[in-house]
Amino acid sequence: MPLETRVYQKERTLKMGALLKASLKDLLGSRFLARQLAERDIKAQYRQSYLGILWAFITPIATAAVWIFLNSSGTVRLSDTGVPYAVYAFSGTLIWSIIVAAINSPMQSTNAAKGILTKINFPKEALLLSGVYKLLFDSSIKILLLVLFVFIFGVGFHWSLLLVPIAVLGAVLFGSTLGLFLTPIGLLYKDIGKIITFGMQFLMYVTPVVYAIPKAGMMKTIMTYNPITPIILTTRDLAVGFTPEYLSYFLIVLAICVPLLFLGLVLYRISIPIIVERLSA
Amino acid sequence: MNDSEILVKVEGLSKKFCKDLKTSLWYGVKDLVSGVRGSRQERELRPKEFWAVQDVSFELRRGECLGLIGHNGAGKSTLLKILNGLINPDAGKVTIKGRVGALIELGAGFNPILSGRENIYNNGAILGFSRREIDAKLDAIIAFAELEEFIDMPVQHYSSGMKVRLGFAVAAQMEPDVLIIDEVLAVGDVAFRMKCYNTINELQKKTAIIFVSHSMPQIAKLSSSALLLSRGKVKNQSIDVSKVINQYFLDSPIDNKEMISGSGKAKIVKTNFDASKQISIKKDSLISLEFTLDISPEIERFGIRGVVYDSEFKGLLDINSLHEGHIFINKGSSQSINISFTNPLNHGDYSLTLVVFEVDDNMKIKERLLRYEGFYNFKSLSDNEFDSYIPMSVNVLINQN
């Protein structure tokens, strides 16, 4: 069997195709490592905590609860959403939390592995994949919770409920793609992580998370064009059995995400050695 | 398989680093941009940068071991990182054939909360094993680490030695063509260290090894050639490992660890050598130390002791005037003392500690008057390549009858 030959030099192959192929190959080849890492983190997280999984959705539930209170006490007047407001708010914050987690995931997973990145050569794509695994784990629990709310608040079963996981996958895809682009620079500068946390708080208010898109005005324009809007709305519509109004926009966003994701993977592959150099210098 | 196949080929390798963090991060951003655009221009030093590794070349075949030595900050770890593919060189080229294993960090991926057994899987996965491989090797790993009893205990309750043992046991299961070792073996107890060496010796037959260590005996024992790095440049490179090690010792910075303790009733007034300098002495040549002592008048009799330590503070030689049957009488004024011995030490850095003590009527040591650490620091240089990793050799008669 001929031995695999590796060449390390300044000039690297910069053909998109070759890099992407190598990246996808490593992504596929590192499934075991990725699963192992995800399992390790999930186990460790829950073994050292009593409330465990509760932490995954305590923020969205708290946010929703605040809005439900604001709405029911009459502090704020929200336009009718067509479904019980509790379901509207809970579904919005849950999906929102999935998107935020997905954006943070590539950077967090890579950052957490800093120690081994500078010491051991392993397929770095495994870190991304382990992040996705962890997201899927958390998200599936959130979906179950969402389904629970749908039933508790009397919305009842619709066949479209079965499509919710697919829409959530779309949310994960969107978030991960965005996160992947921010990762290289975010690993160099801590500011990026802070900006994400900070920015997402504001972004939530121009997305129909806890209130519907207004009928007119500047806010309507912003919210309509906001690419996160179709993700939230489509997922929610599927959950409560409405015809998804923003389905075509949703599909367009996802269709754009796929090539961008590939581009992000290539970018990640190129940037890791450069970042490792700066981390270990 | 060709026995003389070249597994590692390094040609004119260079790497630069930045001294300042903020600048370094900014250069990182610039490199990201140029990395994506694929700049082909020659890399030159930007402000605040220096060459961490400059123009290093070597070849390594299966069964060979390159000992990489150099003082702290010489660029050894950087070179290993490039060889391991963690960072890209700024100039030159590395060609590596086959599976690369690195013993740079043991127990990577361990999570302290999880049990030893679970962490074997974590660590193994990072080292590139499949689940089936780990399943098959699990018992061998646990047995090698000698941790049968504690394998289901969380790793955070392991002693550091246990963690290292577990980490090495997993790594020892690798079957690499090229093995990179960076000073991981300096830990653990003697028995386990021996086990590690045996494993590496076993591996050496079928791998090309690049070995970094500060322990020259280890380098001499394992390496078939050696490369001395100094400030990123190759200072010496030869298959004559002993010669390279000598050069390493010649380059070692003067480490004057003087410390004086004792009752203070004895003082060194004068010496025939400069105590602040390290002196080079050839093996088998005579070391003659002359010095003048001032001793308090109430002391009647005294003795002299000299202990030679190596750079790891292991005592090697004991010179004691009592053993030689000498008792010195305090003559009231300054006394002139001479210690002479033939240097039996092979190459290395050594330090002599001088002790002056009071002797009572029964020829017993009474009070320690002076203890002078780092009294005489010297480098011993040996030309003999056979004895290089044993600290000392003496002339004996061996006859075949």
pLDDT in tens, A39-89: 999 888 888 888 877 887 888 888 888 988 988 888 888 888 888 888 899
Q: Which of A88-102, A124-138, B198-212 has the lowest mean pLDDT?
A: B198-212
Taking CA atoms, what residue in A is nearest to B11? A9
Size of interface A-B (CB pairs under 8 A): 148
Shortest CA distance to A268 belongs to which of A27, A11, A1? A27
ipTM of the complex model: 0.82
Q: What is the pLDDT of residue B379?
A: 84
The distance from CA A164 to its chain's CA centroid, rounded to whole angstroms, is 15
Return the percentage of chain A with pLDDT > 70, whole number: 97
For the stretch A122-132, pLDDT in tens is 999 999 999 99
- The separation between the first and the last C-alpha atoms of chain A, rounded to the nearest angstrom, is 38
CA pair distance B83, B73, nearest whole angstrom? 17
Least trusted range by pLDDT, from B20-29, B300-309, B375-384: B375-384
The residue assigned the tokens 């550091």 is B160
Lowest mean pLDDT among A113-127, B262-276, B343-357: B262-276
In this prediction, what percent of chain B has a pLDDT beyond 90?
A: 27
Mean pLDDT of B134-153: 92
Work out the average pLDDT over B37-63.
Answer: 84
B380 near B347, Cβ under 8 Å? yes
C-alpha distance across the termini of chain B, in Å = 46
Distance CA A64, CA A46 (A): 25
Put simply, whether B315 touches A (Cβ < 8 Å) is no
Contact residues, chain A, for B113 at CB < 8 Å = 43-44, 47-48
A48: closest chain B residue by CA = B113
Give the confidence band of A238 by pLDDT, cuts at 50, 70, 90. Answer: very high
- What's the rounded mean pLDDT across residues A127-147? 93
Q: pLDDT-derived band of residue B59, with 50, 70 and 90 as boundaries?
A: very high
- Min CA distance, A262 vs chain B (Å)? 14
Residue A249: its pLDDT value, please?
94
Residue B19 CB burial class (10 angstroms; 0-12, 13-18, ≥19)? exposed
Tell me which amino acid residue A109 is. S
In terms of C-beta density within 10 A (0-12 exposed, 13-18 middle, 19 or more buried), how is residue B62 classed? buried
Does the beta-carbon distance from B85 to A6 stay under 8 Å? yes
Six token digits for residue B245: 């090690």
Half-sphere exposure of B382 (CA within 13 A, CB side): 23
Confidence of residue B267 (pLDDT cuts 50, 70, 90): confident
Average pLDDT over residues A106-110: 94
Predicted confidence (pLDDT) at residue B388 exceeds the cutoff of 60? no
Q: What is the mean pLDDT of the segment spanning B355-384? A: 85
Phi, psi of B398 (to 5 degrees): -120, 120
Please give the Cα distance from B96 to B178 (Å, whole number).
8
Residue A1, pLDDT score: 55
- The tens digit of pLDDT for each residue in B70-89 reads 988 888 989 999 999 888 89
> So what's the pLDDT on residue B1?
46
**Residues of B with CB below 8 A from A189's CB?**
25
Which stretches of B63-177 are assigned E, i.e. beta strand? 65-70, 91-97, 100-103
Pairing state between β B233-238 and B225-230: antiparallel
Report pLDDT for B23.
87
Quick check: B96 and A122 CB within 8 A?
no
CA dihedral B136→B137→B142→B143, nearest 10 degrees, is 100
Q: Could you read off the pLDDT of A151-208 as tens digits, one per residue?
A: 988 888 888 899 999 999 999 999 999 999 999 999 988 899 999 999 998 999 999 9
- pLDDT band at residue B95 under the 50/70/90 scheme: very high
Indicate if the pLDDT at residue B335 is higher than 60: yes
For B343, how many CA atoms within 13 A lie in the half-sphere containing its CB? 24
In angstroms, what separates the C-alpha of A143 from chain B's closest C-alpha? 28
Least confident of B97-101, B124-128, B256-260: B256-260
Interface test with B, best of A31, A35, A40, A268 (most B CBs within 10 A): A40
Whole-angstrom CA distances from A37 to A40, A124, B133, B330 are: 5, 12, 17, 73
- Phi and psi at residue B233, in whole multiples of 5°? -105, 155
User: With contacts defined as CB-CB under 8 Å, which chain A residues touch B99?
Assistant: 3-4
pLDDT band at A281 (very low <50, low <70, confident <90, very high): very low
Chain A residues with CB-CB distance to B89 below 8 A: 8-10
Over 80: is that where the pLDDT of B104 sits?
yes
What's the count of helices (H) and strands (E) in chain A, helices before strands?
11, 1
pLDDT of residue B386: 57
Between B388 and A57, the higher pLDDT residue = A57
Starting at the edge strand found earlier in the chain, the sheet holding B335-342 runs B266-271, B286-295, B335-342
Residue in chain B nearest A14 by alpha carbon:
B38
Name the residue facing A40 among B24, B122, B128 (closest C-beta). B122
> B217: distance to nearest CA of chain A, Å?
25
Total-model pTM: 0.82
Tell me the pLDDT band of A13, cut-offs 50, 70 and 90: low
Q: What residue in B sits closest to A125 (Cα-Cα)?
A: B126
pLDDT at A12 over 80: no
- Indicate if the pLDDT at residue B40 is higher than 70: no
